[in-house]
Amino acid sequence: MSAATRTIAAEARTGGDSPAVPRHIGIIMDGNGRWAAARGLPRALGHKAGAEASRRAIEAAGDMGVSWLTLFAFSSENWRRPADEVRDLTGLMRHYLRHEVGQLLEKGVRLRIIGDRAAFGPETVAEITRAEAVTAANTRLNLNVALSYGGRAEIAAAARAIAARVASGELDPASVNESTLSAHLDTAGMPDPDLIIRTSGEQRLSNFLLWQSAYAELVFQDVLWPDFDAVHLQAAVAEYRRRDRRYGARTG
């Protein structure tokens, strides 16, 4: 743990009006392709370097005392990429599912996958289920990896599930409220993100945690994802701490 990380973690424990460290950070990990292009490398190597950056981010978040980290690794729209790139990305995913579980166990990380896992086929679904089960007792850091994830699809699926319960007579339509909707999302029971970081200079959500980000603080950084490290995470948290979270209320 670096000195700066230690300071932030120590301050977090002292409490105060606004927690020094966000409870839940979401990251839109963007810029692998541009990182590779800038080096004259194939995009696949950008994605591989991106996976290394994810490992650093997980470590740094744990050291800072963050409880929840959600990494956007593959969007429902990323299926539109050329077949060879999709193959590279899903191959990398499977490799990490198989080989990173030991690391996650060592670091006290509980892994959950959000998104349409079935889209990756039964073999990958089995790997995901296994990785989730093996890490289920870990409590230091809750890690969500969003795979084939799209916020609109997630909300539509929740609406479908609620409609089915209403149709069967199990649920009174008049009782459907925000909590009902939240409880039918992939993130049911999890805190909403306090801070969402996007790298690579793009300033959009690209369908990430649409419902959950209603009051998230957004931080955009120019760094390309493969270059992201603990210092970038600390800078984003420092920016977050300068924000005044009003939730629509008056402050002065």
Q: Nearer Cβ to ligand IPE, position 23 or 34?
A: 34
Amino acid of residue 194: D
Total number of residues binding ligand IPE (CB under 6 A)?
19
Q: Which of 78, 90, 124, 135 binds ligand IPE (CB under 6 A)?
A: 78
The site partner of 72 among ligand IPE, Mg ion, none (C-beta below 5 to 8 Å per kind) is: ligand IPE
Asked if 96 touches ligand IPE (CB under 6 A), the answer is no
Beta-bridge partner residues of 25: 69, 195
Residue 55 interacting with ligand IPE (CB under 6 A): no
Residue 229 CA: distances (Å) to CA of 29, 56, 99, 206, 242: 12, 6, 21, 22, 21
Binding of ligand IPE by 28 (CB under 6 A)? yes
Site string for ligand IPE, 159-198 (x = CB under 6 A): ----------------------------------------
Q: Could you tell me which residues are beta bridge partners of residue 197?
A: 27, 219
Site for ligand IPE in 221-240 (CB under 6 A): 225
Give 19 or 42: the residue with its C-beta nearer to ligand IPE. 42
Whichever of 121 and 173 has its CB closer to ligand IPE, that residue is 121
Interface with ligand IPE includes 200 (CB under 6 A)?
yes
Q: How far is the CB of 116 from ligand IPE (least distance, A)?
A: 13
Q: Which does 74 bind (CB under 5 to 8 A by kind): Mg ion, ligand IPE, none?
A: ligand IPE
Choose between 109 and 196: whose C-beta lies nearer to Mg ion.
196
Q: Please identify which residue in 30, 186, 194, 217 interacts with Mg ion, judged by CB under 5 A.
A: 30
Q: Determine the Cα–Cα distance for residues 114 and 144; give it in Å rounded to an integer.
A: 7
**What is the enclosing helix (H) or strand (E) of 26?**
strand 24-28
Of 105, 110, 120, 119, give the one whose Cα is nearest residue 145. Answer: 110
Strand ranges in 65-166 using DSSP code E only, listed in sequence order: 68-75, 109-114, 141-149
Distance CA 74, CA 90 (A): 9
Rounded distance, CA 159 to CA 4, Å?
A: 44
C-alpha to C-alpha distances, 238 to 4, 30, 198, 244, nearest whole angstrom: 11, 21, 15, 12
Given 73, 109, 216, 236, the residue binding ligand IPE (CB under 6 A): 73
Sheet containing 68-75: order of strands: 109-114, 141-149, 68-75, 24-28, 195-198, 217-220
Q: Which of 198, 199, 179 is nearest to 189 (CA)?
A: 179
Residue number closest to ligand IPE, CB atom: 33
Catalytic residue among 17, 32, 63, 78: 78
State the residues that interact with ligand IPE by CB under 6 A.
28-34, 50, 72-75, 78, 89, 200, 202, 204, 206, 225
Question: What amino acid positions are annotated as catalytic residues?
Answer: 30, 78
